Amino acid sequence: MTQSFDDTEFVVRTIAQTAVDNEREFGDLDSVVGDGDFGFSLARGFEIVLADWDSYDRADIGTFLQKIAVAITSRIGGTSGPIWGTAFLRAATVAKGKDTLTGDDVVAMLHAAIDGIKARGNADVGDKTLLDALVPMTDAIEARLAAGGSSDEIVAVAAESARTAADATVTMQAKRGRAAYTGERSIGSPDPGAVAVAVILERLAPAWPDRPRES
């Protein structure tokens, strides 16, 4: 499984557009036990990414992702900016100097992003954060890749895994972020970050087989 620069752009653009399109949904989820700014912050940051899309340096995939990371960190407010920016920056480091990505590269980028989020947010799986969707999703991707799955199959499995994992955060008690202050009241609603990961993958999966290809 080899992914082109076009594929990387397609993924990033899908993330950005999904964040903008789901501003209200993500905000409503966050307002249950958080401060309600997650949807707004994410949308405002990724609006800038879309507006400046053609200006980003595309010397290689790593450089492109690094520029996206800088834009996200500087434009997204609250805790989301550093967290999402760190994820892109760590992924960019793995992709440095590359014009194409193997399946192993993608897995390594996801693991790097996860490690960055853990360090930046002082969080881990089970704390009711986006990690509770991102980690199981990455494990599913790695397993399907090892089994020889096609990229279409891998993206579909990633979406299914992310949704199942995001739904499972309903029963968790938040241990990080503003929601953690609500204690047991945080049980009963899903984590907005985990849901965002699921919604992004659910947007990506059906579009992936017909994504723009290099001519």
**pTM of the complete model beyond 0.85:** yes
Mean pLDDT of 10-26: 97
Strand partners of residue 3: 101
Q: Quote the tokens at residue 92.
A: 């960019």
Residue 215 confidence (pLDDT): 46
Neighbours of 1 (CB within 10 A): 17
Structural domains of the chain in order of their starting residue, each with its CATH number: 2-208 (1.25.40.340)
Mean pLDDT of 108-122: 96
Contact at 8 Å (CB) between 125 and 135? yes
**Confidence band, pLDDT 50/70/90 cuts, at residue 213:** confident
Residue 186 confidence (pLDDT): 66
d(C-alpha 128, C-alpha 26), whole Å: 15
**Widest distance between CA atoms in the chain:** 54
Mean pLDDT of 13-24: 97
Q: Which residues contact 88 (CB under 8 A, 6 or more apart)?
A: 65, 66, 68, 69, 72, 113
Of 35, 52, 42, 46, the residue nearest 77 (C-alpha): 42
Mean pLDDT of all residues in the chain? Answer: 92
- What pLDDT, in 10s, does the model give residues 59-83? 999 999 999 999 999 888 777 888 9
* Three-state secondary structure call for residue 101: strand
Mean pLDDT of 151-173: 96
Main-chain phi, psi angles of 17, to 5 degrees? -65, -35
* Three-state secondary structure call for residue 135: helix
Residue 36 confidence (pLDDT): 77
